[in-house]
Amino acid sequence: HHVKGRQRSASIVTVEPVGGDSLEEVLDQNAYKNINSEWVNYKGAWVIHPVLIIIGKIMVDVIPGMHQDASWTIVNLSYLLISYIMFHWVTGIPFDPDSHGGAYDDLTLWEQIDEGAQYTPSKKWLICTPIALFLISTHYTHYNPWLFAINFTALLVVLFPKLPQLHRQRIRFLYRPGYTSGAATPAT
């Protein structure tokens, strides 16, 4: 894996491509359907997002003294946080290391969906849901500038890695080439 840009340690931000198209990786990936990421296309996998949001909203509203704008902000931020961790932080497949031989170890769930194809229906839904939730939350926060800024920033942070240009790219801060964490598979 080579790092784009200057390779001196003075670089604050570098972009590193991960994954690969080597023959072994392609063969390992093609041997099985990736059931870790296939479920986003199954029946009910889209509906579960609004259902979980509604359940979360109800649970947050139960807290006494909760205002609607705080409640919607909390729900918005929690959904973005959980979906970020699930789709863009954790890499690899948490079972069956023999079947795929580590071919997906560097890929997040987003990059595994639909075998890396872009602009697929599931990806479009997963982009629209946080946007819709953000719009609802801005309505209920009455466009308060502070809350708007928080929600908007969070939305951008979550939407940024979903861009097709960032497919299999990692943004690293103060990256030192040659330093590895030592773990072959990602940390929990």
Partner 1 sequence: MALPLSSSGSGGLFKLSKKSSQRTLTPSSAAEYLASLKAADDDALAREQARSHSPTPARDVVHASAVNYAPSIASTPALSFASTAPSSLSSPTTYAATLEEDDDPLVYPDNPPTSNDPPPSALHSEFGYCNNEEYRYTSSYRDGTSLFPQHQDPPMTILLATYISYLFLIAIGHMRDFFGKRFWPGYYKHLMSAAGYAALNSDFDSFYTRRLKLRIEDCFARPVTGVPGRTILMYNRVSPDFNVSFKLTGQLTRALNVSSYNYLGFAQATGGVADAAEESIRRYGLSALGPRLEAGTQDLHTAAEALVARFLGVEDAAVISMGFATNSTTLPALVSRGCLVLSDEYNHASIRTGVRLSGASVRLFKHNDMASLEQILRESISQGQPRTHRPWKKILVVVEGLYSMEGTFVDLPALMTLKKRYKFYLYVDEAHSIGAIGPHGRGVCDYFGIDPTEVDILMGTFTKSFGAAGGYIAGKKVLIDKLRTINHAFAYAEAVSPPVLTQLTAAMASIMGVAPPLLTPVGAINTQSTALIPYSHPGPAPAAILPSWMHLPPALLSGVEGNTRLRRLAFNSRYLSQGLRKLGFIIYGHRDSPIVPLLIYNPGKMPVFSRLMLAANTYPGAVPFVVVIVAYPATPLITSRVRFCMSASHTKADVDRLLRACDRVGDLLDLKHGCPKHERWTVDEVIDRAVELVHMD
Site residues (CB under 8 A) for partner 1, limited to 78-107: 92, 94-97, 99, 101
Site residues (CB under 8 A) for partner 1, limited to 26-65: 27-28, 30-33, 35-36, 38-39, 42-45, 47-48, 51-52
Please give the radius of gyration of the chain, using alpha carbons only, rounded to the nearest integer.
19
Q: β-strands 13-17, 169-173: how paired?
A: antiparallel
Instruction: Tell me how crowded residue 135 is: count the other CB atoms within 10 A of its CB.
Output: 12
Is 124 within 8 Å of 136 (Cβ atoms)?
Answer: no
Q: Does the footprint of partner 1 cover residue 184 (CB under 8 A)?
A: yes
| All residues at 6 or more sequence positions from 172 whose CB lies less than 8 Å from its CB, including other chains | 3, 13, 14, 15, 16
Q: Does the footprint of partner 1 cover residue 182 (CB under 8 A)?
A: yes
Q: Does the footprint of partner 1 cover residue 188 (CB under 8 A)?
A: yes
Residue closer to partner 1, measured from CB, 69 or 101: 101
Q: How far is the CB of 54 from partner 1 (least distance, A)?
A: 11
User: Which tokens is 158 given?
Assistant: 């979550």
Which residue ranges make up the site for partner 1 (CB under 8 A)? 23, 27-28, 30-33, 35-36, 38-39, 42-45, 47-48, 51-52, 92, 94-97, 99, 101, 182-188
